Structure 1
């Protein structure tokens, strides 16, 4: 990335630096230098330069700036300023003569770092997307292998080879497209929420000024285009439809255009989130993996999704609604100020928090019951019992953490929200072991 350089011109009042006037000019430059060194972003570099006087005795003014090198301590200069204090002060005094007296302050913004780009991608959503795509694809792979083994047994044929390489290629294409789409969705949200994020999430790169809005928009659009291209190249209509629908819902959630900006409406906001996380991810990526493996094996038909996929759709629908509610809990200050009437703004944080926790606890209890009952009398009873107990344990973790949360404490709510995402990851680790 190329550093962006902006120059602000501070004009001297009418007059020249002859004689006594040079003292006033020197004081003005000293004040300007100190103001910019102490008042601006510590990660920027400040340089006072290009000062000159209207006449030949301008060396008098420059000579008066020499003591800046001695008068400024290390703490007066921002961190990251190249060179020593003496070099910066010397550069400040080394301006050349010109027809118009001026003091120019040149500000060089920090270069965009990999850390800023990583935080721009919202890592917790990146992990959620990656784990969910791997889990659903693995479920399709296990279903394919089981169906192939059943056919071989039924027709007394040799056991088919396990399609490891086709599965790896299928998984890679899905991951690349999904992760790029994820960056595009969370990126465009930060572009249109930059003013809100300066209140709610000042640590984000756009809100903190580490990236410009134009850069964020360019990265988001580029990721969306490449994601669609990768999905198209993969060759399955389901992957292209999944990526396209996810991008459409993500942009509708954030973009401030007529009939869009759905995040203002709690129902539409929740629909966007569970539409992607619960429906598009489960069905779309399963079908992509299943169709790709069937093509690689020369199958004329694709087996229908197993009951575990529909279990994932139902579970993640409830979970996604809870995530949609929890994510707005610490953001009430900025949302209320900018007219975003989330459920937390309308109904209050405590009530929404309790409702979200109750919804998740009921979901875990119902999931554990369904898995256990479905395993009774089946060959996979031990696996189902362990999976059901795992859901009980995750529900207990949720309950114990929720008891310690003060809904009015932003820090506690944010930590709870990130814990909910960890439970989200854990569910996808369990999903391939759900036999219904």
Structure 2
């Protein structure tokens, strides 16, 4: 039974949000004015990292509840379509993880005000917005998952933009351009990159009434449409450094921008040389590279601000 709940949470997807939150926090530590190092600085980011993983686990469960008929076709071995867990059990898991995530979000306050009564609760309100986004993505009558590009938007906002800003909020205030500029980079990346998971799911999505980009425009055209998201956002890194918006190490940021842009071009090449493979392979290499690009970018930003 425990293994079934773990499968419901989809643990391999939980590392990215946890790392993203920590990266956002470490970026804030090194941002001007640079924070004086103290071990207490890590308390709020670690709480927030656990929160991000829990929220993503709850979101995964919520999505599977409303995707049951689709998953009977696309992912029949998952806990719900296989009958290993009931809908009622999935709802309990969803409610528990969402509540725990919101409680932890309330506890995320910047050092030295490590008190829920005196600290800023910017993280909580960002997470509350993210919860709303995850709800309207999966749940009727909104269910933006069936509305093409709006599905991408309601993924990119919480998992890209708000995640980075929430991480920043565990160390510094979010009032200012820098955290939102960084969040926009990751949000714009996910705006297109999140479609990589849709190509192999076209049959089930079509039956479930979800008009994803590959269904609306075809595999080849959709692949071309999302390609800019693998390149353009990362050009914003050196630009932000030149403009003085990004206050990390100038040359580290230039290097990160070059590395991520070249990596993105390579992934575009993998997608566009034989786009029809995107709809044939269950986990196309571009989907795996999407996660790897996230990891490289998250770690790269932290290094650019700490070194």
Q: Using structure 1 for the length normalisation, give the TM-score.
A: 0.61
Q: 2:152 aligns with which of 258, 270, 276?
A: 270
In the alignment, which residue of structure 1 is the partner of 2:61? 187
Spell out, residue by residue over 1:226-263, the C-alpha distance to the aligned partner (whole angstroms, 9 max, x if none). Answer: 1112222443421211222111111111113x3x2121
Instruction: Tell me: higher relative CO, structure 1 or 2? Use CA pairs within 8 A at least 6 residues apart.
Output: 2
> Which segments of 5 or more consecutive residues in structure 2 lack a partner in the other structure?
109-115
In the alignment, which residue of structure 1 is the partner of 2:82? 208
Distance, in Å, in 2 between the alignment partners of 1:197 and 1:355 is: 26
Q: 1:123 aligns with which of 11, 17, 20?
A: 11
* SS of equivalent residue, structure 2 residue 80: helix
* Contact persistence 2:22–2:167 (CA under 8 A): no
Q: Does 2:31 match 1:143?
A: yes
* Contact persistence 1:189–1:254 (CA under 8 A): yes
> Which segments of 5 or more consecutive residues in structure 1 lack a partner in the other structure?
1-111, 149-161, 292-302
Cα RMSD of the aligned pairs, angstroms, is 2.7
Q: Does 2:272 match 1:398?
A: no
* Contact persistence 2:188–2:229 (CA under 8 A): yes
Q: Which has the larger radius of gyration?
A: 1
Q: 1:386 aligns with which of 255, 258, 280?
A: 255
- Offset of residue 268 of structure 1: 2.7
- Offset of residue 397 of structure 1: 3.3
In the alignment, which residue of structure 1 is the partner of 2:225? 355
Q: Does 2:162 match 1:280?
A: yes
* Contact persistence 2:14–2:53 (CA under 8 A): yes
Over 3 Å counting, the alpha-carbon distance change for 1:223 and 1:380 in structure 2 is: closer
Q: Does 2:98 match 1:224?
A: yes
- Offset of residue 411 of structure 1: 1.2
Distance, in Å, in 2 between the alignment partners of 1:337 and 1:225 is: 32
The total of aligned residue pairs comes to: 292
Distance, in Å, in 1 between the alignment partners of 2:50 and 2:28 is: 18
- Offset of residue 383 of structure 1: 2.4
- Offset of residue 418 of structure 1: 2.3
Q: Using structure 2 for the length normalisation, give the TM-score.
A: 0.84
* Contact persistence 1:262–1:268 (CA under 8 A): yes
In the alignment, which residue of structure 1 is the partner of 2:297? 427
* Structure with greater helix share of residues: 2
- Offset of residue 380 of structure 1: 4.2
Over 3 Å counting, the alpha-carbon distance change for 1:387 and 1:188 in structure 2 is: same
Q: Does 2:119 match 1:250?
A: no
* SS of equivalent residue, structure 2 residue 171: helix
* Contact persistence 1:406–1:413 (CA under 8 A): no
In the alignment, which residue of structure 1 is the partner of 2:45? 171
Distance, in Å, in 2 between the alignment partners of 1:382 and 1:284 is: 26
